[in-house]
Amino acid sequence: MTIRKTIKEMSKELDEDCFVKLHSGCVVNMKYIERSSSHEVTLKNGEQLIVSRTRAKSVKKSILDYWRRNV
């Protein structure tokens, strides 16, 4: 079964407590984030993803809140 949706549509359906939108084309499950800097996150597999300037503060807050709840 194939479902076609935009990132915007999918991000609305995902749990905001577990997923964060880094930019218009990228949503990440926060349990796979190892490190976070001002405009980049590093996943546990070493992959680095860019965070948009407009989302930088909200992404940082979401990640910190997630880590506080789950560490």
Q: Are strands 19-23 and 33-37 parallel, antiparallel or unpaired?
A: unpaired
- Which residues are registered as beta bridge partners of 64? none
Nearest in space to 47 (alpha carbons), one of 63, 32, 62: 32
The residue count for the chain: 71
Amino acid 38: pLDDT: 84
Domain count, the chain: 1
pLDDT (0 to 100) of residue 33: 97
Q: What is the span of the domain harbouring residue 52?
A: 7-70
Residues β-bridged to residue 48: 42
Closest CA to 51 of 65, 12, 59: 59
In a domain, residue 45? The reply is yes
Predicted confidence pLDDT, tens digits, the chain (71 residues)? 888 888 888 888 888 899 999 998 899 999 999 999 989 999 999 999 999 999 999 999 999 999 999 97
Tell me, what's the pLDDT at 25?
87
29 lies in some domain: yes
Q: Could you tell me if residue 2 is inside a domain? A: no
pLDDT of amino acid 10: 85
Tell whether 1 is covered by a domain.
no
